[in-house]
């Protein structure tokens, strides 16, 4: 069961690209999700914080930290493992699961959509919505478009660059962007356009790290079954590099694309050129699992070595503390009041800027 932890000790943060001191951020609160539970996604919906984990989905009252509800197979999910959680424009919350399809939550009622209903694949990794409410769903066998009645599926033969889709982002012009194991694709409703490392996506493998053989952020075994190990390390514990492999994708308030890669840092695309940021620039780690933007325009990046933030000039990394020990940050979400929630194995922590007097 999730339970509120003590308020964490204050910590300093470091910037590296400007002479002026960057703002300081601190973990002010943390919650435990169970030692073996990986937090795969966090989402803010009004007063609620949704936490998707490898052992179920939690709904938490942000103001009090109290548990509002839990969703597992006992409550109607086909599996406990949830990759994604988001709330659509109508206020309905959706879960993407590991082999259990797409789940819709209406109060205490759970409705599941699976391959037999037209969904492209039962492994659902991410969702986003167009202006009219149409949902786009990233799966491990292409993407699905859901208009509330029927699914329309798009795969590699239709123009998608790779079947494994980890991130979906609807742009200001209502075009849809997809982050995959083979690069980034854009669909405007008529034509597909794609970009890869050869176009500038992701920094070069300067450290000459070994390529990972993992696919689906795990391994593909006999019978097309997936096994998740949730590590970007090789069997000897060394960091790896996967060219073209995209974990996360954000279209910011100005329409600029930010793409989180496996080993190539974060890539910025302004529609014409790619610019890559890595640990040499101040990013905490070169594997970027999650990206979010706060109301001020500041960007937040969950990496394999902690949480970093970028204001367009300076990079700052939230350092480990008593309650947050560092490591892989798989999920990031931002409150309207600028609190940042980050998810990792075993818990969720809330980060706030410290006012500088």
The per-residue DSSP string of 69-130 comes to EEESGGGT-S-S-EEEEEE-TTS-EEEEESSS-EEEEETTEEEEE-GGGT-S-S-EEEEEE-
Res 215: pLDDT: 67
Contacts of residue 9, defined as CB under 8 A and 6 or more positions apart, other chains included, come to: 321, 322, 323
- How does pLDDT run across 313-345, given as a tens digit for each residue? 999 999 777 677 778 999 999 998 889 999 999
Res 83: pLDDT: 96
Res 11: pLDDT: 26
Res 14: pLDDT: 30
How far apart, in whole angstroms, are the C-alpha atoms of residue 24 and residue 252? Answer: 23
- How does pLDDT run across 80-92, given as a tens digit for each residue? 999 999 999 999 9
- The number of distinct structural domains making up the chain is 1
112 to each of 99, 143, 227, how far by Cα in Å?
Answer: 11, 17, 22
Res 3: pLDDT: 39
Res 280: pLDDT: 97
The whole domain housing 34 covers 3-354
Is 144 within 8 Å of 127 (Cβ atoms)?
no
How far apart, in whole angstroms, are the C-alpha atoms of residue 345 and residue 189? Answer: 38
- Contacts by 196-199, CB closer than 8 A, 24 or more apart: 196/161, 196/244, 197/243, 197/244, 197/264, 199/274
- Give the chain's count of helices (H) and strands (E): 0, 33
Strand partners, 44: 49
Q: What tokens does 263 get?
A: 């080993």
Res 25: pLDDT: 87
H helical segments located in 146-290: none
Nearest by Cα to 278 from 233, 234, 315: 315
Contacts of residue 277, defined as CB under 8 A and 6 or more positions apart, other chains included, come to: 203, 265, 266, 267, 268, 283, 310, 315
Is 145 within 8 Å of 138 (Cβ atoms)?
no
Res 95: pLDDT: 98
- Residue 74's domain is classified under what CATH number? 2.130.10.10
- How does pLDDT run across 28-49, given as a tens digit for each residue? 888 899 888 999 999 999 999 9
Contacts of residue 307, defined as CB under 8 A and 6 or more positions apart, other chains included, come to: 284, 300, 301, 317, 318, 329, 332, 340, 342, 351
How far apart, in whole angstroms, are the C-alpha atoms of residue 115 and residue 99? Answer: 10
pLDDT along the chain (357 residues), means of 10: 33 37 80 91 96 96 91 95 95 96 91 97 97 97 97 98 97 97 97 98 94 66 55 87 96 96 98 97 97 95 96 90 82 92 94 70
Q: What tokens does 59 get?
A: 């709904």
């Amino acid at each position: 069961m999730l339970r509120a932890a003590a308020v964490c000790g204050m910590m300093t943060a470091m910037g590296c690209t400007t002479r002026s001191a960057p703002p300081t951020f601190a973990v002010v609160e943390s919650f435990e999700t169970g030692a073996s539970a990986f937090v795969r996604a966090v989402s803010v919906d009004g007063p609620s914080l949704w936490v998707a984990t490898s052992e179920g989905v939690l709904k938490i009252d942000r103001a009090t930290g109290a548990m509002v509800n839990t969703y597992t197979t006992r409550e109607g999910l086909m599996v406990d493992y949830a990759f994604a959680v988001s709330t659509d424009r109508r206020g309905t919350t959706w879960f993407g699961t590991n082999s259990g399809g797409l789940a819709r939550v209406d109060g205490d009622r759970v409705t599941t959509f699976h391959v037999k209903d037209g969904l492209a694949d039962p492994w659902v990794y991410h969702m986003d919505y167009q202006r009219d409410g149409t949902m786009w769903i990233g799966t491990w066998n292409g993407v699905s478009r859901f208009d509330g009645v029927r699914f329309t599926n798009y795969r590699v033969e239709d123009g998608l660059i790779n079947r494994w889709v980890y991130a979906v982002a609807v742009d200001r012009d209502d075009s849809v962007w997809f982050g995959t194991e083979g690069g980034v694709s854009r669909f405007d409703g008529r034509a597909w356009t794609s970009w890869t490392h050869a176009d500038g996506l992701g920094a070069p493998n300067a450290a000459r790290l070994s390529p990972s053989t993992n696919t689906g952020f795990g391994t593909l075994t006999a019978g097309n079954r997936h096994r998740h190990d949730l590590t970007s390390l090789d069997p000897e514990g060394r960091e790896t590099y996967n060219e073209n492999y995209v974990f996360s994708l954000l279209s910011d308030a100005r329409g600029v694309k930010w793409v989180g890669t496996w080993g190539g840092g974060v890539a910025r695309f302004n529609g014409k050129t790619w610019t890559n940021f890595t640990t040499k620039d101040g990013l905490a780690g070169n594997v970027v699992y999650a990206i979010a933007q706060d109301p001020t325009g500041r960007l937040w990046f969950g990496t394999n070595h902690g949480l970093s933030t970028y204001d367009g000039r300076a990079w700052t990394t939230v350092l480990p503390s008593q309650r947050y020990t560092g490591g892989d940050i798989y999920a990031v979400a931002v409150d309207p009041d600028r609190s940042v929630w980050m998810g990792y194995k075993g818990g969720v922590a809330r980060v706030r800027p410290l006012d500088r007097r």
